[in-house]
Amino acid sequence: MKTSQYAIPDTQYALKAFLDAKVIQYNQPGFIPNDPICIPHLFTKKQDIEIMGFWAATLAWGQRVTIINKCKELISLMDGAPHDFIMNHQEPDLKKLLQFKHRTFNDIDTLYFISFFRYHYEKYESLESAFLSQPVTRNKQPATEASLNHFRSYFFSLPDYPSRTRKHVSSPLQGSTCKRLNMFLRWMVRKDDKGVDFGIWNHIKPAELIMPCDLHVDRVARKLGLITRKQTDWQTAIELTERLKEFDPIDPVKYDFALFGLGIEEKF
């Protein structure tokens, strides 16, 4: 097993400097081609970016090259124009989608996603609307926690939704880290001039985002002493985010680039 080339920074100042340098290293256009974020970058139309960003994030488990290839297959099955296909397809057009499968995501899930997107975009211009809810003050939920719980409820509000599809859209109420949804929100919400994240949503603020806590991020964060919680769940993602806010309270999730890059590219 490859050993780390780095000594763990021994002060908070040194750790911040180390992570800031890694953000600069990975938050740049060269990161895009080998990451699932390359899928929404294939488009310029806002709705296409949202649809395929959400789908790419949902399918983001396994080898990145496989995730990217499966997303490109899905785009091809929708004639290269996801939003137009979703809004204007006829029933026979859906037959070719019955062949689509990625791990446990199958044709039943694909068809429901299409139904949901059509239902939503018939009423709203942007998918951001699906994540907006009033703060649940009686439960004192943080804004993003309330938004993710609201989104899952809304996503499965169509009659006769397939129960099997629920496993593909998580929420804090389940105790999940919500890694895929938090990653999608990072793509849509974060704003900078580096060209990786899109920053096309305006109602959710970067300071409200929660870290996408996958296996690699979790491992690196624990090694750096950023996580103390034994299990990996929603509260772990909150703990990590709060620690990173000590380094940047306005944009804590930018450190996803550092932790993910260290875990994947450098085997830290």
pLDDT for res 137 = 44
Mean pLDDT by 10 residues, the chain (268 residues): 62 94 97 97 98 98 94 98 98 96 96 98 97 61 87 96 96 95 98 97 96 95 96 97 97 98 89
Please report, for residues 26, 101, 260, 264, the alpha-carbon distance to residue 257 in angstroms, rounded to integers and kept in the order given: 6, 29, 5, 10
pLDDT for res 9 = 79
Domain range enclosing 58: 36-209
pLDDT for res 100 = 96
Looking at the fold, whether 164 and 192 belong to one and the same domain comes out as yes
What single DSSP character describes residue 5?
Answer: S
pLDDT for res 199 = 98
Looking at the fold, whether 90 and 193 belong to one and the same domain comes out as yes
Looking at the fold, whether 123 and 219 belong to one and the same domain comes out as no
Q: What is the pTM of this model?
A: 0.94
pLDDT for res 5 = 65
pLDDT for res 265 = 85
Looking at the fold, whether 204 and 221 belong to one and the same domain comes out as no
pLDDT for res 1 = 39
pLDDT for res 268 = 84
Radius of gyration of the chain (CA): 19
Looking at the fold, whether 228 and 98 belong to one and the same domain comes out as no
